[in-house]
Structures are given as C-alpha cells and as structure tokens.
C-alpha cells in the first residue's frame, strides 16, 4: 500500500545555503524540494508552509502548524515537519501537547546547510520520511528524528551548538534507532493531557538563577504584563533566599510560578528545607515541573493558561 506523507517545510538550516564567505543565508528555493525520493511505496506531498530561521518562530506559528495538521491529517499516513534546530524542540513539544492525530508526526532539521561539506539535511529528511511512513511510529506522540535517532518531543533537547549529534534525551535516552533496514523502537511515548487551542497569547518569561542573585531581575518585570513565570533553579530546585522572598510577593499577587532545574540532567523536587530551598518554595505555592527543561516548561504553563486552567487544576497539570 502506498503511504502518503505530508511534508511541511518551515525553514531553518536544512533549507539554507552557505554563501561565498561561508555565512549561512536563507533561500527562497528550498533544497529539500529537489531531493528525489528513493523510498519505495512512499508518496511525498510537500508544502513551503513557512520559511523562517527558527529563532523567529513564535507560539502562534506552532499553533498554525497544529491547525494545519488537524485540517489535513485525514488525507495522509504521516507528517514530516522540517524546522530550524534552535527552537525545534519547542515546536515539537507544543505540537505534542495538542490534540494531534495518531499518525506519525516527525520533526527534523540539519546542523549543516545544504552546500556545506558533510551536510546532514538530505540524510535527516529521508530518515524522517522513513520514520513517518513506518506503522510502528504511529501513536508515539510527536517524534524528533536526527542523526539516526528517534526522540520523544517531551524530552529531547539541543545539546551542542554545531555537532550533528546535538539532539539528545538526557534523562531517558532515545525512543528508537534508525538502522539501515528498519526503524527499531525500544520504548513507547507516555500518554498525556492534550489541548485543542484556537489561540495562544500571554507573557511567561524564563528567569535563570545564579550565585549572588537577589531580586534585581524580578524587580524589572512589568507585573501588569506578566501572566506567569518560569524559574530555572539550582540543582534539585533551590534558589537564593532573597529571590525566594520576592517570589512570594509575586505568588501573593496571583502570578503562577513554575520551577525547573538549571541542571542538564535529572528532575527538580522539593528536598531542602532552608530559606530558598525547594521544600519552602513548594509550600509557598511554586509548581515543580518534572522532566521538562525551562523552554518546554514555559510552553506548558503558557498552554495551560490559554486552556483556562486555574488553582488546583493548574497545579495538578503542571506537576503531573
């Protein structure tokens, strides 16, 4: 049976070229549209949905992608999205939190542009098509395919500025591997709460903590604009005591605050009871977000607020 795959190009290095000086520039003619498809039984329908470097991608673009997927999914067996690697994990996580269909949905990109030596774009693109047309990839949530690995959107992160093996899943490892002849899965994605959003707005910034921090950054926030806050805490989930004191005043004003660790690996949890320690922070009302980095926790809170979650329901979702 022929598998029909919808490809939505959004820009990023995979669609770019290096100029004579070596600087990587955007192009109107996406090289992926010239790749001949060697995969038997796979029919590709591609669309230049966006053409943006991924630092220009906003939650609204992610929502547009979700609406497009919802609208077209019935006509396809799988979807591939090409994307810049800088914010790829955020778009993948956003889509994974929406009411997506159960067909394979795969994001991919490239670390080297199309005319650079050792360019990985075509290879990753064809790998993504293989994964999206494989029945085993269905109902696994949104997948990220790069460098012969398949990662779950929830956990994957960009770990290196330039290396082609940049995408890693620190705490859990990948869901599967792309071998020469088959896609091998050794894990399944977990079920999760999904939302059907029609709009997304609000201000939820990320504030990292550092040794010697007091309340200086928090004092600069315009509280009238602020809908929520993500704190990137030390270690298991601790912050300086002066920062904690200021956060308590924000909580009293009704601003939801969620906390993740600035550590690359592991999960924040309330362990220490000293001033600014996780036990006190959680007691004060800060949500401890499990297994997400700051950029995904930010999207989680933004999505939850746009879905209208409040009070205990918001806490349960953020900590679930």
Active site residues: 13
| Residue 22 DSSP label | S
Query: What minimum distance in Å lies between the beta carbon of 191 and ligand ASP?
Result: 30
Query: What contacts 236, CB < 8 A, 6 or more positions away?
Result: 261, 266, 268, 269, 271, 272, 278
Residues of this chain that bind ligand ASP (CB under 6 A): 12-13, 53-54, 84-86, 109, 111
Continuous segment of H or E residues that includes residue 312: helix 311-319
Query: What minimum distance in Å lies between the beta carbon of 86 and ligand ASP?
Result: 3
By beta-carbon proximity to ligand ASP, the closer residue of 85 and 147 is: 85
By beta-carbon proximity to ligand ASP, the closer residue of 91 and 280 is: 91
By beta-carbon proximity to ligand ASP, the closer residue of 49 and 288 is: 49
Continuous segment of H or E residues that includes residue 143: strand 142-146
Q: What are the structure tokens assigned to 183, written together?
A: 């896609």
d(C-alpha 25, C-alpha 5), whole Å: 28
d(C-alpha 156, C-alpha 166), whole Å: 10
d(C-alpha 222, C-alpha 237), whole Å: 25
By beta-carbon proximity to ligand ASP, the closer residue of 15 and 133 is: 15
Query: What minimum distance in Å lies between the beta carbon of 49 and ligand ASP?
Result: 14
Q: How many residues does the chain have?
A: 320
Give the nearest residue (CB) to ligand ASP. 84
Query: What minimum distance in Å lies between the beta carbon of 28 and ligand ASP?
Result: 15
């Amino acid at each position: 049976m022929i598998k029909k795959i919808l490809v939505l190009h959004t820009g990023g290095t995979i669609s770019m070229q290096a100029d004579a000086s070596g600087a990587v520039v955007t192009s109107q003619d996406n090289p992926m549209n010239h790749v001949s498809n060697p995969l038997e039984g796979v029919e590709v329908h591609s669309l230049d949905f966006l053409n943006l470097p991924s630092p220009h991608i906003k939650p609204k673009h992610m929502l547009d992608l979700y609406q497009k997927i919802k609208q077209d999914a019935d006509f396809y067996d799988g979807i591939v999205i090409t994307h810049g690697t800088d914010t790829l994990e955020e778009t993948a996580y956003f889509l994974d939190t929406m009411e997506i269909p159960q067909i394979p949905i795969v994001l991919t990109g490239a670390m080297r542009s199309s005319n650079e030596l050792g360019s990985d774009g075509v290879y990753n693109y064809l790998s993504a098509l293989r994964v999206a047309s494989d029945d085993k990839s269905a109902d696994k949530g949104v997948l990220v395919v790069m460098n012969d690995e398949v990662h779950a959107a929830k956990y994957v992160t960009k770990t290196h500025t330039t290396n082609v093996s940049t995408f890693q899943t620190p705490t859990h490892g990948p869901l599967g591997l792309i071998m020469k002849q088959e896609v091998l899965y050794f894990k399944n994605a977990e079920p999760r709460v999904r939302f059907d959003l029609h709009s997304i707005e609000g201000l939820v910034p990320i504030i990292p903590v550092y040794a010697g921090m007091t309340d200086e950054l928090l004092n600069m926030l315009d509280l009238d604009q602020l809908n929520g806050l993500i704190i990137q805490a030390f270690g298991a989930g601790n912050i300086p005591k002066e920062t904690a004191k200021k956060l308590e005043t924000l909580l009293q004003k009704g601003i939801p605050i969620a906390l993740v660790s600035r550590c690359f690996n592991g999960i924040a949890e309330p362990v220490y009871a000293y001033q600014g320690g996780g036990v006190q922070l959680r007691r004060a009302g800060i949500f401890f977000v499990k297994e997400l980095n700051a950029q995904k926790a930010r999207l989680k809170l933004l999505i939850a607020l746009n879905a209208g979650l409040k009070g205990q329901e918001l806490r349960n979702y953020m900590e679930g």
